[in-house]
Every structure is written in C-alpha cells, then in structure tokens.
C-alpha cells in the first residue's frame, strides 16, 4: 500500500484541499505540488504562493480496473468497476494527476474541459482522506 502517514497527510492539506501552488520568482513557472527548489529552472527556492483555479483540460488519461487499482482504491474498484484517472493541464500551466468523477470512463476525451472538486478519496488508519477529483466542466466547454 502507498502509505501516507496522518502527519504527512495533514502537511499537504493546502495542496489537497485548496490547490495551492508556488510560482517561481526566477522563471515564473508554477510548481504543483510545491517543491523546495523549482522543478523547471532548478535554480530558485524563492516562491510566491498562488491559488490555482482548478480548471483545465485533460492532457491524457487511462482507465484503472481489473485488479490494477492501488490497494487504497481496491474498495472503490470493487464497488464501481474501472475508473478514469487523468493528467490535467491546469489554466496556469502545471499538469496534475487526479481521478475523474461524475463521468463514464468511455466519455473522457483529450482536451475535455474539467474542474477540480473536493471529494472523498479513500480511508486509511480510520481517517477519511479528502482531495481533489476532476469533473467535466460544462461552463468551460
């Protein structure tokens, strides 16, 4: 299992709940999740905190199923079968990975407009883990 301890999970709540990124003051690129050093220029650790809108487009995607789910998502797979996971290019540039929700996996398309919503992800150590999932964005279409 890809174990994430409760303290580690709590430290990442701004990213998981509010989509907070870091804009590098040297190269201007947005790092998400935030890093200690800019992953683009590798030369700066000076950042400005930035709120990401959560809107973007599907860059690529896959369907997870038939025993391919990580252990923490096995319950979800048993309940609903395969589910789509996408790499989404957000409006401000960073690409992030997330589950798709409220859409049949067969209906997910490249360049499909999506938006992030706070959702239940899974339960571990008796704690419900929340984070963002992407849903179709009919307003962004």
Instruction: Please report the pLDDT score of residue 34 as a whole number.
Output: 83
User: Bigger pLDDT: 9 or 41?
Assistant: 41
Half-sphere exposure of 51 (CA within 13 A, CB side): 3
CB-CB contact of 65 with 73 (8 Å): no
The closest of 14, 12, 13, 32 to 22, measured between CA atoms, is: 32
CA dist 65 and 104 (Å) reads 13
**CA-to-CA dists, residue 136 to 19, 45, 52, 60, 91, angstroms:** 18, 35, 17, 14, 15
User: Bigger pLDDT: 126 or 86?
Assistant: 86
The answer to whether residue 141 scores a pLDDT higher than 60 is no
**Tell me: the pLDDT tens digits for 78-115?**
666 678 999 999 998 799 999 999 999 899 999 999 99
Within 8 A by CB and 6+ apart from 64, the residues are 73, 77, 82, 83, 84, 85
The closest of 95, 23, 31 to 58, measured between CA atoms, is: 95
**Tell me: the pLDDT tens digits for 10-68?**
666 666 677 888 999 999 999 988 888 999 999 889 999 999 999 999 999 998 876 65
Instruction: Please report the pLDDT score of residue 20 as a whole number.
Output: 87
Instruction: Please report the pLDDT score of residue 2 as a whole number.
Output: 57
CB count within 10 Å of CB 99 equals 18
């Amino acid at each position: 299992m890809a174990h994430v301890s409760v303290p580690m999970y709590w430290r990442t709540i701004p990213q998981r709940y509010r989509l907070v990124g870091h804009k590098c003051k040297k190269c201007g690129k947005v790092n998400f999740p935030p890093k200690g050093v800019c992953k683009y220029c590798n030369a700066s650790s000076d950042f400005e905190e930035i709120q990401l809108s959560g809107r973007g487009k599907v860059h690529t995607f896959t369907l997870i199923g038939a025993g391919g789910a990580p252990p923490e998502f096995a319950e979800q797979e048993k309940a609903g079968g395969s589910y789509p996971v996408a790499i989404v290019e957000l409006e401000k540039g960073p690409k992030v990975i997330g589950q798709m929700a409220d859409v049949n996996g067969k209906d997910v398309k490249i360049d499909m407009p999506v938006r992030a919503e706070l959702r239940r992800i899974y339960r571990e150590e008796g704690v419900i883990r929340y984070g963002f999932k992407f849903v179709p964005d009919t307003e962004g279409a």
